[in-house]
Each structure stands twice: as structure tokens, then as C-alpha cells.
Copies of this chain bind each other. A is one copy, B any other.
Amino acid sequence: MKPAIALDAMGGDFAPANTVAGAILAARELGSRVVLVGREDEIQRELNRHRAKETSLSIVHASEAVTMDEAPAMALRRKKDSSLRIAANLVRDGQADALVSAGNSGAVMATAVFVLGAVAGVDRPALAAVVPNRKGGVTVWLDVGANVDSKPQHIHQWAIMAHIYAKNILRVASPRVGLLSIGEEAGKGNDLVKETFKLLRGSRINFIGNVEGHDIFDGSADVIVCDGFTGNVSLKAVESATETLFHFLKQEFSRSWRTRLGYLLSRPAFKGFRKRVDYAEFGGVPLLGVKGATIISHGRSSPRAIRNAIRVAGEVVENRVNDQIQKEIEESTHPMRSETA
């Protein structure tokens, strides 16, 4: 039987319309089993609108919803009947196998870590961005989830987790793992990088050494690891830079009739471009190292993005990614290298 995916039906900017529509797509196209968690009447209305009668779709009622700008800690403490929390509870209690949410990503992370807990041996779960690269593939980049004051052994574990993810879900035979630094030479970097370098060099993964910021998008590595502070700041800087560039470009296009006509003719190019860089298309961002599986989708997820996230969540379960992570971390980190703690 297919894994059951608990979907936070109320999470995201276009919930429950896009979440329910995404679940229906997953059920119809992939045969996915999805438990839609949220306000029953609203979910049922959306199901009716699509005339969805799939028996692989079920509803579990939750009276509250976490808003997109709510503080994660507050959501965790106060909203015990939120769709997110109930969905996580279903996974914890074995009534579902994995969690998908397009909601407030901080709240999803906090809730998943708190309710599901970490895979045995994992010190800190990490959020892995899956970004398109120049070579036409994708790069798994973690931690971008703001694990602060990361230690070398944390980053070592993230490298192992992302290696297993890239191998099983992205089907890269021997993922090249790079360590993000300020120069490619082995001696380049801060103290954290230098210590982490030693751990990675001694590990069984395909460690290709230090990489730089420009390598994130040029396809020279399949996995790039860094501390959660650097990852979170850099990812947000990249998002803001690209938004600002397109804002400027739009302004320039609106300056004359010629460029406005040019834009109209160019629309298929912009559309194709958006499709290529929209990382929701890659099935969302995995929170690696928590029990079950948690996929966080973009707040603006389309039904197709939700469908893809459900697909990826199922693949993580079916490929026993967590069992592999647990086994590999056990074998890689004993004896514990406590001198780097």
C-alpha cells in the first residue's frame, strides 16, 4: 500500500484551494493516499468543487490554522488544534507516514521537530533547499533553516543526510558533496569550516572539498553544506536579489511602447523561465533528519507543487531514507569525535 501523507490543508497563501487541488492531482495521477487535515467543511467544499470521490483521500478535522506571519514558538505553544499540529500528530501516532505543509515554514519546522522528534543519531534536523543549477540539474543546499551556532559534527551529519536524499530521491549515483567556504583550497575558511573539512575528508561520502558561493548555482556539486546561519542569510539574500532584479527589469520594460511590445512577444520566454526556476516544481524543501518525513512547500504553491511535494514525501518513505540516515550516521560517527565539540 502507498504511504499515507498527512497534508496541512490550511497551510499556504492559497489554502485550502491549492492544497486540496494538489491532493486530488496526486490521488488521480499518482494514486497517492492523502489525509487532508483542516476545517472539514472548507475541505469538503473544495473536494465537491472538483467532484473528487477518490477513496484514497480522507479528511481529519482541525479547528485552527497557523497564519503565515505567526511566530513559530507561539504557534507551537498556543495552537494545539491547528491543522499543522494535528497533521504532525497523525505522523507521530502512525496514522500517517509523512507530513506536507505549504504553511509558515518556521512553524512547520518547529512543529515537526517538536512533535516527530529526530531520527536516532541525528543531533539537529536541517532544512535543505533544492535549487536549480546552470547545468540543468538541481543542487541540495543545507542547512538553510537557521540552525545557529552549528558544530562540525552537525554539518557532517547534514552532509550524510543530503547525500542519502540526493541518491534516493534525485537519483544521483554518487552525489558530489561540497563544503561552503570563502575559497576552494583546503585551508580556506573559518574555524568551523576547517574542523568540518577534516570530518568530511575522513567520511565515506564523495566529498569534493570546499566550494564557494558561486558554486551553489553552477552545478559543480550535488550537495552543498554550510552552517545554518550562513545558509539562511544567503538564501534570503539570493531570493531578495532576484526579486529586486525582476522588479527593475519590469520597470525598464514599462518605459516605452517598443519594450512593452517586446515584453508581450517575450512572454513565453518568461513563462518558460519561471517554470525552470520555480523550486516548488521540484517538490518542496525537505526537512531532513526528523522521523517520518516532512516536506515544506512554498507558501505560494500551485496545485502541481503540492502534488509534487506529496510525491516526494511518499518517495522519502518508500525509499526508507530515514533508516538509511540512521544507519549511515551510526556507522560514520562512531567513535564520536568529541574533540571538535
Chain A interface residues (CB < 8 Å from chain B):
132-134, 146, 148-149, 180-183, 189-191, 193, 212-218, 226, 228-230, 232-245, 247-249, 252-253, 255-256, 258-259, 261-270, 272-273, 276-277
Contact = CB atoms under 8 A, between A and B. Distances in A.
A330 B36 CA distance: 62
Given A241-B217, A270-B252, A229 B232 contact: no
How many copies are assembled? Answer: 2
Q: Is the interface of A mostly helix, strand, loop or mixed?
A: helix
Contacts of A234: 213, 230, 233-234, 237-238
Contacts of A193: 229
Contact of A233 (B191, B226, B252, B267): B226
Contacts of A132: 244, 248
6 contacts: A148-B190, A190-B229, A214-B243, A216-B241, A256-B268, A262-B264
Given A134-B244, A253-B269, 17 more contacts: A148-B182, A148-B190, A181-B229, A182-B229, A189-B229, A190-B229, A212-B233, A213-B238, A214-B236, A217-B244, A218-B244, A226-B233, A230-B234, A237-B237, A238-B238, A249-B273, A259-B265
A238 B236 contact: no
